Amino acid sequence: MGDRLFSLRVFVRIARGGSFSKAGRELGLSQPSVSRIAAELERDVGAALFTRTTRAVTLTEAGSDYLARIEPILAALEEADHAVRGTGELRGRLRVALTSSIAVREVVPILPAFMQSHPALKLELLLNDQLQDLVQDGADLALRFGVLPDSSATARRLAISPRMLLAAPAYLERHGVPQAPADLSGHDIILGPTGVRAWEFQRNGRSASVRVDCRLQASTNEVAMASALAGLGIVQTSYWGCRAELANGALARVLPDWDCGRVELHAVFPAGKAAKPSARAFAEHVERAFSA
């Protein structure tokens, strides 16, 4: 039984990584050993689980179905082990999907306390600035911003951050400081990854909406921020996306008396299976850190 469980864990690592060698590195095994375990599992189940090419290892239709059935079983076993230990110790590997910006700016700085509290846990950060498919990427948890699309996945709101407009002081010296939302029509606008062109504002019960025409659009927050730092225009982002630049004065707030709305951060767990104990613990750690 022990060998079979290990084989199943190897199978999942191959399926998620698309490589025998990558799975071997993660599990401390040689590539030939991983290949042999995969072949033995295929023989035991009586079906081809993988399609092997010189470039990648992909799942067959049978392999995809097997993965969907096996992962909830392994998660349930992990949950049972965690409950029986009763010590709060987390083990195994936790895969967290998130954007590179929130990872570098907010999550990595709070990792030491989490990792020190759970020394037997291995953490893998899956960085992607586009919306990720938790099942396809094999993530146990995703940190996502904004309004979530309709999904059967389980989501939990962790924190809220104000949106704000920013620009480099040198840009404002050259082009002037906007005094009202309508003034933005005469300025260079930098759009970030949301690509939202209708900017909403509120102040003292008044509402204003401005449709901006950007000169530059970036698919990541970091490039948008770098563009603002270079004096290319005015950018909108969350406080999480500009905390350091505000603190050191590299960027200045624009229209600070106007409310630009809020950004929500959610923990999203894959649909169809119970959240891993380590995923729940990580979400709770982020929530505590962001509310401190």
Summarised one tens digit per residue, pLDDT across range 195-233 is 788 999 999 989 999 998 888 999 899 999 999 999 999
Q: Which contiguous run of DSSP H or E holds residue 170? A: helix 169-175
pLDDT, average across residues 87-94:
76
Residue 1 binned pLDDT confidence (cut-offs 50, 70, 90): very low
E-strand stretches of 74-139: 92-98, 121-127
The CA-based diameter of the chain, rounded to the nearest angstrom, is 72
Q: How far apart are CA 158 and CA 180, in angstroms?
A: 32
Instruction: Give dist(CA 24, CA 14) in Å, integer.
Output: 8
Boundaries of every domain in the chain: 1-86, 160-263
Interval 244-249 mean pLDDT = 95
Whether the CA torsion 6, 11, 13, 19 is positive or negative: it is: positive
pLDDT at 244: 93
| The pLDDT of residue 174 is above 50 | yes
Rounded CA-CA distance 15/271 in Å is 18
Q: For the domain 160-263, what is the CATH code?
A: 3.40.190.290
Ramachandran area for residue 258 (φ above 0: left; ψ -120 to 50: alpha; else beta): beta
Q: In this structure, what DSSP letter does residue 120 have? A: T
Q: Which own/partner pairs from 69-73 qualify as long-range (CB within 8 Å, at least 24 positions apart)?
A: 70/8, 70/11, 70/12, 71/12, 71/273, 72/272, 72/273, 72/274, 73/8
Q: β-pairing, 141-145 with 121-127?
A: unpaired
Q: DSSP state, 252?
A: E
Residue 288 tokens, joined: 């505590």
Number of C-alpha atoms within 13 angstroms, CB side, residue 164?
A: 21
Q: What is the pLDDT of residue 54?
A: 80
pLDDT band per the 50, 70, 90 thresholds, residue 64: confident
Q: Are 233 and 190 in contact (CB under 8 A)?
A: yes
> Across residues 181-203, what is the average pLDDT?
91
Is 0.95 topped by the overall pTM? no
pLDDT digits (tens, 9 = 90+) for 250-277: 999 999 999 999 999 999 987 766 678 8
CB neighbours of residue 98 within 10 Å: 23
What pLDDT digit, counting tens, does each position of 134-151 carry? 555 668 899 988 776 655
For the segment 15-50, what is each residue's pLDDT rounded down to a tens digit?
877 888 888 887 888 999 999 999 999 999 999 999
Q: How many CA atoms, within 13 angstroms, populate the side-chain half-sphere of residue 105?
A: 17
Residue 113 phi, psi (nearest 5): -65, -40
Amino acid at 250: A
> What six digits make up the tokens of 56?
């990648």
Sequence length of the chain is 292
How distant, in Å, are the alpha carbons of 27, 130, 244 from that of 240?
35, 18, 9
Determine the pLDDT at residue 131. 59
Overall fold of domain 1-86:
Arc Repressor Mutant, subunit A (1.10.10)
- For tokens 């110790």, the residue is 89
For residue 245, which of 217, 262, 214, 222 has the smallest C-alpha distance?
A: 222
> What is the share, in percent, of the chain residues with pLDDT greater than 70?
90
What is the mean predicted confidence (pLDDT) over 44-62?
89
Alpha-carbon span 146 to 264, nearest angstrom: 5
**Mean pLDDT to the nearest integer, 70-77:** 79
